[in-house]
Every structure is written in structure tokens, then in C-alpha cells.
Amino acid sequence: MKNPPTQRNIKNLVTEYVIIVVICISIVAMIFSFHNREFSYQASNNSSIEYVNAEVLEILEEEFDDDLGYTRGYQKIKAIILEGKAEGKTVEMENYITVGQRVILEEGSGFIACADIPEGITPMFSVYSHDRSYAIFAIILLFIAVVTLVGKKRGLLSCLGLVFTLCMVVCYMVPELFEGGNTFLVTALTLVASTVVSCFCIGGISIKTYNNVLNTLLGVGAACLMYFIFSCMLHLGGSAIEEVEMLSLISNNTGLNIGGILYAGVAISSLGAVMDVAVSIGASLYEIKSVRNEATFKEMLRSGMNIGCDMIGTMTNTLILAFAGGTLATLVIFMSYGIQFDQLISSNFIAAEIAAGVAGSLGIVLTVPLSALVCSYTLNKKIKIKNSDKKHRRKYEY
């Protein structure tokens, strides 16, 4: 027979639901604000261009040639525009199929058309891409369904935390950096808000959540500090970014801090892996304390370090390989030019990638002793886990 919920449990439950509502409202507000925001600079005037859904009515001409495994060719199609200023209009388009633009259409196929409709000039229409919106929505729904099926309520809340983090990065952080906002303050606010919401969605209102937030921020801070040291050693700056010329043009018009983008990128890229380590160690030590309440600080610390050491190898590999995977295409291009080792290792691109990868990995490694120390201290000095609390713990709290 289950014990009736106490007044404190009911109060915490109501507070959690209120926080969830606030998170949802914040997500909607960020999306609405981003959609209606006008930026101070645009590299090109595209006010007359819109990308709209269209459907192929008829294939008028087509010619294909398979060369070295790549299909090249040409299509002339008749299509109907399904939305936008030219909705309902039937137009003819030429579709050139190349290695970089491989959009082969069939009769009845839906696609995205680029409609350039300037005032007083004959409009132009061209094939842009396949319509991938439905497939992307299906993939996202599959992800949410699987996470919810496995994680139940906490799985669904984890998806909510992920959406909030994406909105913070895309709808707040990127626009603020673009407009020349203070890199440190903008990045710090993004990290703190994303960490607090994500950890709350994982653990609810509990000592574990407070520990996870603190440990995650300490780990990400360590990664950023390591990157600052490495960037000074390697003489890295804004010039280490591949798109530095375009960013310089933006910076001249908006005050964008080019060098700050590197630090922001390291902080965001290491956040997930650091949080994973911090939450895993926190959950393990909490369970140890709940089962063996007499465990001392030294025993808890030793257990946390042992657990963390087993995670270090896989998590550092994850982050390093993630950075390496992002540079794979560039390395292949470098090889085609016969780049020498000294030239490659001293290039801005490789130096920045090595610094970012190693800094993020060190952030993960340093999260282990930090999390073990913080959790061992708080679980022994700040709270006492009573045996009666075990009966009220949620089944899928973590």
C-alpha cells in the first residue's frame, strides 16, 4: 500500500508544474521574438526572394549522364506554385543536376522553388531543393516518441529541456552575438539558463539538480579556461575561423566579436558531454547514499572518482571524435593539395580544432573530481537521506 503524499511533496509537485509552464511560455516567447526580429545588417538584399512549396505537373525534357558514379543532367519541368505571392501560378523551370545540386524530380514530386519576384520585372523561378520538411518532422517525432517510451515522464521532460536549449542558442545567443552583444555575458546566460532547465527536467526539484547545475557549470568553465590558455599558447584569434572574411564584414557593420565566437563555440559544444558526466556521477553517488546512509565523505569521494574514471575514456573519445568528424572533409581537401605536416599542424584551422577538442575533453576530465567532491560534500553535510524517503522517490527520477 502506497503512503499518501505529504504536503511537502504536493507543494514540490505544484512548483514543478508551474516551472514547466514557465519553460513552455519562454520557448514560445523566444521563437516569437526571433521570428519578428529585424537585424541591423544583411549581406544581400533578398526582400524580393521567397522559397515556396511547388509541385511538378509535367516533365517537358530531361537528359542524364552517369559519369564516375555521379549523375549529371538537365530537366525542364512544368510546375505549379502552391504558396506565396505566385500561389496557383503555373511556370516552367530548368533544373540542372550537378554533383553539388542533385535534385532529380518526377511528375507529381513536391519540391522547394526559389521565387524571385521583384517589382516591375519578370519573375524568375528555379528549383532549390527537395521538400524535406515532412521527413524532418517525422524524424523529430520518432526521436521524441522513443525517448518518451523509454524515459516515460522524465524522457518527455528531457525533450522539453533540449528544445529550450536549442531555442536559447538559436533564438537568443546567435542573434545577440550577431548584433555585437557582450560575448561573455550572452554565453554565460545561455549556459546557465540551459543547464538549469535541462537539469530540472532530468531531476526535478532536488539536491541532485542543484549539484548537477553547479558541477556542469564548473566543468564548462574549466573547458573555457583551458581553451583560453591554449589560444594564448597557439596565438589563436578570430583569424582561426574559416569564415573570417565574411565575419569581418559582419563585424564592421554590427560590432560582432569574432574572437568571442570561438569561446562560445567551445562552451556550447562541451556542455552536453560535461552535463552527461556530472549527472551520471551525481545520480550514482545519490543512490549510494540512499542505500548506505552511513557512507563517509572519503568513501563517497572514492566511489565518485572510481565511477568517473570509467567514464573518462569514452566521453573524451566522444568529444574528440566529434571535432575530428567535423574536420574530415577539410582534411581530405588539404591532402589533395599536398599539404606538408609542418604546414598542416601550424595552420589556423587545425590549431583551433585541436585546442577546442582538447579543451573540451579536459573539461570532461576535470568534471569528474569536481562532481565527486561537490556531491560527496553536499550529500554528507547538507542533507540526510532517511529510509522513509526511499518510498517516495519517483520510479524514473533519473
pLDDT of residue 166: 93
To the question of domain 49-131 being in CATH 1.10.3470, the answer is no
Tell me, letter by letter, the H, E, C secondary structure of 213-242.
HHHHHHHHHHHHHHHHHHHHHHCCCHHHCC
For cell 560535461, what's the residue? 274
Q: Using the structure block, give the residue that is written with the C-alpha cell 524568375.
A: 124
Give exposure, 108-136, as e/b (b: 16+ Cβ within 10 Å): ebebbbbbebeeeeeeebebbeebeeeee
User: Of all helices (H) and strands (E), which one includes residue 77?
Assistant: strand 70-81
pLDDT, tens digit, for every residue of 209-228?
888 999 999 999 999 999 88
* Cα–Cα distance for residue pair 209/397, rounded to 1 Å: 11
Sort 73 into a burial class: Cβ within 10 Å, 0-12 / 13-18 / 19+: middle
The number of helices, as runs of H, and strands, as runs of E, in the chain is 11, 5
Per-residue confidence band for 250, with pLDDT thresholds at 50, 70 and 90: confident
Contact 379, 291 (CB under 8 A): no
The model's confidence at residue 29, banded by pLDDT at 50, 70 and 90, is very high
Query: Quick check: 130 pLDDT over 50?
Result: yes
Q: What is the pLDDT of residues 343-384, one digit of tens each?
A: 778 888 788 888 888 888 888 889 999 999 998 888 887 545
pLDDT at residue 51 greater than cutoff 60 = yes
Give percent of the chain above pLDDT 90: 25
Confidence class for position 386, pLDDT limits 50, 70, 90: very low
Using alpha carbons, select from 82, 62, 76 the residue that is nearest to residue 126: 76
The pLDDT, as a whole number, for residue 137 is 92
CB 389 within 8 A of CB 290: yes
Q: Residue holding cell 513536391?
A: 110
Angle between helices 183-203 and 7-35 (to 10 degrees): 140
| pLDDT level of residue 190 (50, 70, 90 thresholds) | very high
Bridge partners (DSSP) of residue 94 are 76
pLDDT in tens, 85-106: 888 899 998 888 887 788 888 8
Q: What is the pLDDT of residue 395?
A: 41
pTM of the full predicted structure? 0.79
Q: Which residues of 51-65 are buried (b: 16+ CB within 10 A; e: fewer)?
A: ebbbbbeeeeeeeee
Q: Phi first, then psi: give them for residue 277, nearest 5 degrees.
A: -65, -45
CA distances from 288 to 75, 380, 398 (A): 66, 12, 14
d(CA 81, CA 337): 44
In 3D space, the residue among 275, 255, 264, 268 whose CA is nearest the CA of residue 231 turns out to be: 264
Q: CB-based contacts of 365: which residues, under 8 Å, 6+ apart?
A: 312, 316
Which sequence spans correspond to the domains of the chain? 49-131, 152-392
Within 10 A of 104 (CB to CB), how many other CB atoms are there?
A: 13
Containing H/E element for 126?
A: strand 124-130
Q: How confident is the model at residue 188 (pLDDT cuts 50, 70, 90)?
A: very high
Residue bearing the bigger pLDDT, 309 or 28: 28
